[in-house]
């Protein structure tokens, strides 16, 4: 049982003004097919998490609880009762554990533990000094200090006489700490097989516990915590079905009477822990009449686990996870894990640690992502790892903990592949998005105002129909980033969204001067609603769509969230004041008679009465609302519609800020070209609506892209998204 503790990337610049940075570990599309993500594993607690938290027991004792309360809290439905304790046999070789042969060494050397004492072999007193016990087949040759040999068959029993207490010393390293010249109460049993010897310490239960309790809990802890430890350790040993226990945490930490460490400091029994053993002598934790296997561990970090959560198997009623309400009072050092205990591994390093487990592909394939299945306690039950070749492996949390040498199964990971597409301002970000969507050239470009949102809202469908990106510019002059991107793309057509009040004549002239052979088309009406109608007519004429999107012309988020769909499918976006349909939207719907109208947003942004007005204008055609409680949930509902009805996929997910409009409008073109969903997020926090969508589809998501710099979605906001994907 476990015990107490004694590529971020910079991509090439686009012209002189464009900077594109990735804000998280790189993945394939960033650099090459060889780009590998990096993951950091964090967590809380130390130990398997089942049964009693030792730091929790100390915290409860500090809060005034007695040992019976402590035991009843951690082992549900139990009570402390009495029984006759059995005699213990413990293998003293710290190298021996489950699966190992107990016959571990070819020889051992023994000596009396205190001045004036002597050792006896099978009841015969031996000469003073060190005796060597050497295996010879199934026999043992005992060499006296004089050099004389005697051969014995069967099990040898070695005891000490004289002095109090009688102690035996083992020259070689033994016990949990592997001390040389460690001292032991009781007798030592030696038996041989194939020339190797096993060394056992046989002693009464209480004497055994004298060597366990101070190794499991600091002797300076409160008496009630030490008593709880004594009863738990006694119950664990009594319920053990093996004939021989281990001296390590494979069972319980045991160092016997004690020994000197490498610094010459005595580490052994203490009066406080011996008192705890004596004060609870013969007491056990019982579930009904059965003495339970009273598991314990160092610290939980706030909540213990059900036994099946960590080890699988059938639930045991007394090993239920409970809140570790008082543990914090004991100041556990690994709750949460300090920086020195975090594990940071590349996907390849992680895969290498998992090699040989079912489903894990051979080298050189690496871990590209993962998802977690957790119990209510927070402990990881399973981790599903995804690999660079498309394979996946579902591995038990306890196995992952062991392979990665982590402190507990209450862990999580950060490092989901999240990249940024950004510039130093909205215009450069739009150009960076354009460079991703159209890396070589484009037939057309849509140019809209980066200072006001209405005309850009309807530009997405125009861009999709014309097959080109949406760039942003200032009103009075052509933004440098837009100039650079137009120079790179050299489109044959440029569509300017809005009147000269949105994009000035001077800006238009700058475009004409830059692209003298290009056709410049302005789609602009007297107001935003007329501009939206004119854009819809352009799309209808050139794409022949029978679906239209209706969104608010006074609030941008819902239309922005629909921009990827509008681009991908050439669905025009009509704008409405929100409390009524408006003449321009009504005129288009009455004329075009679409077979499906998607209403993006719900009350109060778009009142319920709009539905009947739209149906009246379309002659009763199908209408579908895509709406949630807020802009983030609405964006998620639009994304779900895109996935379930429009053939969008979720292997890549794009996220823009839901606070300001430019990044989402420009980003819709990139998401649209790739038929990927577009979501919204707050600057510092992934809102529940967005998180719910990410959770729903995270098994299929291999990468997330954020539009904009940390001013749009901060590093805190990125971490919030990462938490959703990795926890």
* pLDDT class of 47 with cuts at 50, 70, 90: very high
Q: Is residue 299 part of a domain?
A: no
Considering the domain architecture, whether residues 90 and 190 belong to the same structural domain is answered as yes
Higher pLDDT, residue 452 or 643: 643
Domain count, the chain: 3
Q: Is 30 exposed, middle or buried (0-12, 13-18, 19+ CB in 10 A)?
A: middle
Considering the domain architecture, whether residues 576 and 550 belong to the same structural domain is answered as yes
Q: Is residue 120 part of a domain?
A: yes
Q: Return phi, psi of residue 20, to 5°.
A: -120, 115
372 dihedral zone (left: phi>0; alpha: psi -120 to 50; beta): beta
pLDDT exceeds 60 at position 33: no
pLDDT in the model for residue 23: 33
pLDDT exceeds 70 at position 16: no
pTM for this one?
0.74
Considering the domain architecture, whether residues 388 and 528 belong to the same structural domain is answered as no
Which residues make beta-bridge pairs with 297? 53
Considering the domain architecture, whether residues 663 and 560 belong to the same structural domain is answered as yes
Considering the domain architecture, whether residues 675 and 581 belong to the same structural domain is answered as yes
Considering the domain architecture, whether residues 684 and 577 belong to the same structural domain is answered as yes
Q: Is residue 639 part of a domain?
A: yes
Task: Indicate the average pLDDT of the chain.
Answer: 92
User: For the segment 371-382, what is each residue's pLDDT rounded down to a tens digit?
Assistant: 889 998 889 999
Cite the beta strand spans of 23-125 per DSSP E: 38-43, 52-53, 79-82, 87-91, 107-112, 118-121, 124-125
Q: Is residue 73 part of a domain?
A: no
Considering the domain architecture, whether residues 368 and 466 belong to the same structural domain is answered as no
Kindly give, in sequence order, each residue whose CB lies less than 8 Å from that of residue 76, ignoring residues fewer than 6 positions away: 317, 318, 319, 320, 322
Considering the domain architecture, whether residues 502 and 357 belong to the same structural domain is answered as no
Kindly give, in sequence order, each residue whose CB lies less than 8 Å from that of residue 284, ignoring residues fewer than 6 positions away: 80, 81, 82, 83, 231, 234, 235, 238, 291
Q: Is residue 692 part of a domain?
A: yes
Average pLDDT of the residues in 448-452: 91
Collapsed DSSP state (helix, strand, coil) of residue 624: strand
Decide which of 414, 442, 467 is a domain's last residue: 414
CA–CA distance, 305 with 378 (Å, rounded to integer): 8
pLDDT exceeds 80 at position 564: yes
* C-alpha closest to that of 672 among 592, 588, 568: 568
Higher pLDDT, residue 452 or 718: 718
HEC-encoded secondary structure of 356-410: CCCCCCCCCCCEEEEEEEECCCCCEEEEEEEECCCCEEEEEHHHHHHHHCCCECC
Q: Return phi, psi of residue 518, to 5°.
A: -75, 150
Reading the block at residue 714, the tokens are: 């901060």
Considering the domain architecture, whether residues 84 and 178 belong to the same structural domain is answered as yes
pLDDT in the model for residue 332: 96
User: For the segment 141-181, what is each residue's pLDDT rounded down to a tens digit?
Assistant: 999 999 999 999 999 999 999 988 999 999 999 999 999 99
pLDDT exceeds 50 at position 24: no
Question: Rounded to 5 degrees, what angle do the CA atoms 223, 229, 234 make?
Answer: 130
pLDDT exceeds 70 at position 10: no
Task: Note the Cα 656 to chain centre separation in Å.
Answer: 23
Q: Is residue 55 part of a domain?
A: no
CA–CA distance, 488 with 507 (Å, rounded to integer): 18
Considering the domain architecture, whether residues 389 and 433 belong to the same structural domain is answered as no
**Number of helical H runs and strand E runs in the chain:** 21, 40
Decide which of 386, 414, 442 is a domain's last residue: 414
CA–CA distance, 59 with 246 (Å, rounded to integer): 29
Average pLDDT of the residues in 36-45: 93
Cα distances (Å, whole numbers) of residue 502 to 147, 180, 475, 477, 499: 105, 85, 6, 11, 5
| Contact (CB, 8 A) for 630 and 687 | yes
* pLDDT class of 474 with cuts at 50, 70, 90: very high
pLDDT in the model for residue 1: 53
Q: Is residue 591 part of a domain?
A: yes
Q: Point out the least confidently predicted range of 1-5, 47-51, 101-105.
A: 1-5
Considering the domain architecture, whether residues 388 and 438 belong to the same structural domain is answered as no
CA–CA distance, 641 with 627 (Å, rounded to integer): 11
User: For the segment 248-290, what is each residue's pLDDT rounded down to a tens digit?
Assistant: 999 999 999 999 988 888 899 999 999 999 999 999 999 999 9
pLDDT exceeds 80 at position 615: yes
Q: Which residue range forms the structural domain that includes residue 551?
A: 421-726
Considering the domain architecture, whether residues 575 and 659 belong to the same structural domain is answered as yes
pLDDT in the model for residue 22: 33
pLDDT in the model for residue 410: 94
CA–CA distance, 203 with 389 (Å, rounded to integer): 56
Peptide bond just before 663 cis, omega within 30 deg: no
Q: Return phi, psi of residue 507, to 5°.
A: -65, -40
The share of the chain scoring above pLDDT 70, in percent, equals: 95
pLDDT in the model for residue 12: 31
273's enclosing H/E stretch is helix 271-279
Decide which of 356, 391, 414 is a domain's last residue: 414
pLDDT exceeds 60 at position 192: yes
Task: Note the Cα 310 to chain centre separation in Å.
Answer: 16
444-449 vs 493-497, strand pairing mode = parallel
pLDDT in the model for residue 21: 32
């Amino acid at each position: 049982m476990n015990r107490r503790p004694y590529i971020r990337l910079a991509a090439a610049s686009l012209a002189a003004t464009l900077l594109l940075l990735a804000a998280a570990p790189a993945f394939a599309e960033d650099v090459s097919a060889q780009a590998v993500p990096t993951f950091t594993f964090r967590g809380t607690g130390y130990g398997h998490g089942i049964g009693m938290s030792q730091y929790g027991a100390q915290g409860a004792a500090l809060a005034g609880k007695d040992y019976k309360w402590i035991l009843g809290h951690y082992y549900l439905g139990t009570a402390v009762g009495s029984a006759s304790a059995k005699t213990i046999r413990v293998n003293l070789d710290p190298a021996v554990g489950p699966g190992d042969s107990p016959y571990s060494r070819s020889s051992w050397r023994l000596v009396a533990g205190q001045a004036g004492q002597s050792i006896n072999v099978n009841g015969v007193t031996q000469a003073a000094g060190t005796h060597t016990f050497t295996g010879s087949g199934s026999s043992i040759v005992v060499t006296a200090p004089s050099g004389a040999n005697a051969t014995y068959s069967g099990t040898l029993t070695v005891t000490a006489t004289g002095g109090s207490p009688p102690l035996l010393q083992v020259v070689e390293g033994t016990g949990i700490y592997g001390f040389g010249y460690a001292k032991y109460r009781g007798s030592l049993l030696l038996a041989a097989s194939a020339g190797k010897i096993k060394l056992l310490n046989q002693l009464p239960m209480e004497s055994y516990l004298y060597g366990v309790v101070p190794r499991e809990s600091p002797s300076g802890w409160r008496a009630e915590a030490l008593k709880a430890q004594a009863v738990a350790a006694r119950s664990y040993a009594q319920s053990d079905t093996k004939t021989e226990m281990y001296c390590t945490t494979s069972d319980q930490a045991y160092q016997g009477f004690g020994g000197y460490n490498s610094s010459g400091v005595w580490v052994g029994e203490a009066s406080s822990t011996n008192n705890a053993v004596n004060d609870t002598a013969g007491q056990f934790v019982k579930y009904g009449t059965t003495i339970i296997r009273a598991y314990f561990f160092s610290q939980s970090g706030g909540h213990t686990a059900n036994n099946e959560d960590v080890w699988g198997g059938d639930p045991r009623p007394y090993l239920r996870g409970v809140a570790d309400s008082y543990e914090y009072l004991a100041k556990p050092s690994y709750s949460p894990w300090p920086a020195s205990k975090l594990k940071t591994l590349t996907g390849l390093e992680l895969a290498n640690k998992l090699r040989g487990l079912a489903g894990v592909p051979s080298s050189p394939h690496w871990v590209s992502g993962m998802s977690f299945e957790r119990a209510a306690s927070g402990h990881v039950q399973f981790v599903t790892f995804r690999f660079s070749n498309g394979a996946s492996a579902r591995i038990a949390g306890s196995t992952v903990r062991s392979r990665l040498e982590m402190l507990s199964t209450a862990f999580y990971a950060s490092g989901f592949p999240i990249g940024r597409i950004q510039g130093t301002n909205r215009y450069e970000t739009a150009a960076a998005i354009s460079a991703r969507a159209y890396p070589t050239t484009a037939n057309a470009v849509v140019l809209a105002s980066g200072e006001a949102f209405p005309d850009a809202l309807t530009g997405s469908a125009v861009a999709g129909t014309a097959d080109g990106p949406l760039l942003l510019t200032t009103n009075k002059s052509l933004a440098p980033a837009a100039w650079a991107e137009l120079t790179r793309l050299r489109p044959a057509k440029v569509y300017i969204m809005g009147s000269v009040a949105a994009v000035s004549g001077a800006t238009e002239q700058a475009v004409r001067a830059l692209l003298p052979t290009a056709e410049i088309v302005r789609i602009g009406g007297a107001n935003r609603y007329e501009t939206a109608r004119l854009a819809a007519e352009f799309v209808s004429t050139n794409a022949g769509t029978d679906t239209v999107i209706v969104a608010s012309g006074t609030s941008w988020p819902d239309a922005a969230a629909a921009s990827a769909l509008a681009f991908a499918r050439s669905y025009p976006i009509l704008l409405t004041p929100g409390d009524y349909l408006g003449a321009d939207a009504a005129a288009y719907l009455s004329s075009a008679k679409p077979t499906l109208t998607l209403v993006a947003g719900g009350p109060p942004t778009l009142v319920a009465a709009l539905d009947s007005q739209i149906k009246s204008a379309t002659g009763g055609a199908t209408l579908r609302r895509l709406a949630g409680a807020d802009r983030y949930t609405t964006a998620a509902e639009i994304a779900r519609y895109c996935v379930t009805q429009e053939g969008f996929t979720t292997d890549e997910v794009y996220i823009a800020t839901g606070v300001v409009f430019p990044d989402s409008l420009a980003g819709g073109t990139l998401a649209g070209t790739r038929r990927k969903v577009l979501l919204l997020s707050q600057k510092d926090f992934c809102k529940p609506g967005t998180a719910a969508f990410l959770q729903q589809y995270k098994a299929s998501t291999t990468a997330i892209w954020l539009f904009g710099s940390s001013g749009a979605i901060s590093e805190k906001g990125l971490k919030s998204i990462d938490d959703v994907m990795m926890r």
